[in-house]
Amino acid sequence: MAAPRAAFAALLLLAACQPAAHAATEAAVHAPAATITAQESPGLKQAVFAGGCFWGVEAVFSHVKGVTSAVSGYHGGPATSAHYDDVSSGRTGHAESVAVTYDPAQVRYDDLLRIFFSVVADPTQRDSQGPDVGSQYRSALIPTNPEQARVAAAYLAQLSTSGLWHAKIATRIEPYRQFYPAEAYHQDFMARHPTHPYIAYWDAPKVAALKALFPTRYKPDFTRN
């Protein structure tokens, strides 16, 4: 069974997160610092972010100082459909998501929100990000504790009056249910496949924007899982 499974995984990689030839690359936006900052207790924390294809979300957070882990996966649907081929149908309730473990002594939750909306996700796109369309590519914040929920709501309200975007903010705050790690071949994808066409066209510019906009937050080494 190993060979058929490997072949199937290779076919999925060819089908996944493909660059649209007619689409323009996504522009970075220097989102404002949060007026309501996270008051977090010492110790590692975890937050979940959904912002389109999880390869790029994982890649950006894997280059942020204070992030100790960024795991691609699925959130929002049942365990029975937490598989790439099912989630890709857009009918499972899952969003491609990334579970980010971080040290708030080095980077607070509100710092992660600012990075997310600056270089990862366009908060005005509903059920899509860049070339990827479907509810599985929705933009969502999934807090895992009340403090994250408080800060996320305040920051979305702040963004809605910031004037940076002309369209309404569509990013949702979703209650945490259960995060399911994605298949092994999706993990550390940019680090393992830096020349993949989707990575080169869509995600490498996001990491470059992170370095340019937040040089003190950027770390050159990719945090592997």
For the chain, the structural domain boundaries read 43-213
CA angle, 194 then 111 then 143, to 5°: 90
**14: how many CB neighbours lie within 10 A of its CB?**
7
Looking at residue 140, the DSSP 8-state letter turns out to be: E
Q: Which distant-in-sequence residues (6+ apart) come within 8 Å of 3 by Cβ? A: none
Return per-residue pLDDT of the chain as tens, 225 residues: 334 444 444 444 544 675 554 455 678 999 999 999 999 999 999 999 999 999 999 999 999 999 999 999 999 999 999 999 999 999 999 999 999 999 999 999 999 999 999 999 999 999 999 999 999 999 999 999 999 999 999 999 999 999 999 899 999 999 999 999 999 999 999 999 999 999 999 999 999 999 999 999 999 999 998
Looking at residue 6, the DSSP 8-state letter turns out to be: H
189: amino acid identity, one letter: F
134: amino acid identity, one letter: G
Taking the C-alpha atoms of residue 95 and residue 53, their distance in angstroms, rounded to an integer, is 9
Taking the C-alpha atoms of residue 57 and residue 67, their distance in angstroms, rounded to an integer, is 13
Residues that are catalytic? 53
pTM score above 0.85: yes
Taking the C-alpha atoms of residue 103 and residue 219, their distance in angstroms, rounded to an integer, is 14
Please provide the distance, in angstroms rounded to a whole number, between the alpha carbons at the two ends of the chain.
26
Q: What is the CATH number of domain 43-213?
A: 3.30.1060.10
Taking the C-alpha atoms of residue 104 and residue 125, their distance in angstroms, rounded to an integer, is 29
Helix (H, G, I), strand (E, B) or coil at 57: helix
Helix (H, G, I), strand (E, B) or coil at 122: coil
**170: how many CB neighbours lie within 10 A of its CB?**
17
Position of tokens 């496949």? Answer: 193
Taking the C-alpha atoms of residue 120 and residue 139, their distance in angstroms, rounded to an integer, is 10
Taking the C-alpha atoms of residue 208 and residue 159, their distance in angstroms, rounded to an integer, is 23
Q: Which distant-in-sequence residues (6+ apart) come within 8 Å of 212 by Cβ? A: 28
